[in-house]
């Protein structure tokens, strides 16, 4: 009989928490039991996992138990406080918040890029930022072949990345503007998001002294850690756009060794987790990619302004590959090892 695993989901009622459940069901993750944790206001609500009702448990210290895996998506404050408690019980925590990403003793993992780092964990493994995940999946085969020296990336990030309340605010704004009524008061975004673009993520955080946002800083530092190369220079501009789901990125790459567009496409075609469009007009869009597990790459072309440059267009479902799926894949690597 195949081994099964006792699993906790912390933050089970949120968008990523619900996607954890979906991934467990769809990928037939070998669970013996799933315990769902959320805030105490959600205690007693019932969700279904593999067709079985699971009652929400309010998260308190005395309710932390031993699990084989604990998937966290409840914010950095909860992760800082509770992830060590679950790890001390003997389980492996895969945390989707920013709490542990840059901790030197915590692996930051994308399974297609640095699965070898999983073995270094001391009970906690960090899931990278959603924008970083899809970018490094596309960069990895190019870096291995030609050595990436510099990346300039502009992101087009979906509203779902800001949570369920942000989606509701977006939809209410769209409705109000379409029917020509007064838009509701904003609670999430600093400016209009409907039919607009906001070059500030996180939405209400102050800019850093160097002019970059917190999201952009994450992409810079996480890329170097995941790729295992602190010499890679990354310059991002992160933008929230009026798209419901799936992030897009325009990525300009400079390499030590020249790669033609055809060579880059061949490398991407063979890389795990990537679907590459090989003709200019056959590029991925967020609407088409939403609900898909893979990272999609299109519009691969050479940058004529530098000797060793490439342009890529990269799209992925930010709630799936950018969050829940990546965490589940980390656990699957552990199971297989």
Catalytic residues: 130, 247
Question: Strand 309-316's sheet: what is its strand order?
Answer: 233-240, 148-157, 247-255, 309-316, 295-302, 274-276
Q: How far is CA 136 from CA 35, 42, 76, 112, 291, in A?
A: 32, 36, 22, 9, 20
Alpha-carbon distance values, 296 to 63, 222, 259, 288 (Å) = 41, 20, 19, 10
Q: Which residues pair with 9 in a beta bridge?
A: 36, 71
How many angstroms separate the CA atoms of 58 and 38, rounded? 5
Distance of CA 200 to the CA centre of its chain: 18
Cα–Cα dist 35/226, whole Å: 30
């Amino acid at each position: 009989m195949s081994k099964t695993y006792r699993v906790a989901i912390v933050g089970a009622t949120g968008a990523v928490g619900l996607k954890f459940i979906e991934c467990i069901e769809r990928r037939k993750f070998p669970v013996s039991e799933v315990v769902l944790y959320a805030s105490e206001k959600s205690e007693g609500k019932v969700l279904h996992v593999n067709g079985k009702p699971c009652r929400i448990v309010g998260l308190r210290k005395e309710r932390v138990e031993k699990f084989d895996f604990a998937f966290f998506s409840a914010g950095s404050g909860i992760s800082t406080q509770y992830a060590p408690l679950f790890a001390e019980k003997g389980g492996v925590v895969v945390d989707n918040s920013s709490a542990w990403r840059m901790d030197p003793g915590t692996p930051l993992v994308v399974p297609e890029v640095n699965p070898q780092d999983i073995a270094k964990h001391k009970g906690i493994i960090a899931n990278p930022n959603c924008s970083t995940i899809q970018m490094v999946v596309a960069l990895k085969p190019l870096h291995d072949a030609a050595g990436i020296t510099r990346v300039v990336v502009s992101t087009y990030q979906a509203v779902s990345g800001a949570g369920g309340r942000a989606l509701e605010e977006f939809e209410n704004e769209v409705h109000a503007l379409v029917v020509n009524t007064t838009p509701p008061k904003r609670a999430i975004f600093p400016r209009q998001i409907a039919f607009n673009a906001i070059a500030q993520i996180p939405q209400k955080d102050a800019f850093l002294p160097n002019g970059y946002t917190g999201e952009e800083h994450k992409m810079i530092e996480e890329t170097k850690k995941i790729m295992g190369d602190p010499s890679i220079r990354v310059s991002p501009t992160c933008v929230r756009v009026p798209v419901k789901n799936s992030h897009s990125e325009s990525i300009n790459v400079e390499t030590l060794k020249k790669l033609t567009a055809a060579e880059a496409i061949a490398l991407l075609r063979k890389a795990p987790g990537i679907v590459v469009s090989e003709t200019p007009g056959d590029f991925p869009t967020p609407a088409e990619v939403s609900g898909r597990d893979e990272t999609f790459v299109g519009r691969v072309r050479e940058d004529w302004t530098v000797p060793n440059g490439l342009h890529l267009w990269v799209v992925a479902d930010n709630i799936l590959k950018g969050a829940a799926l990546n965490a589940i894949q980390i656990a699957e690597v552990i199971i297989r090892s």
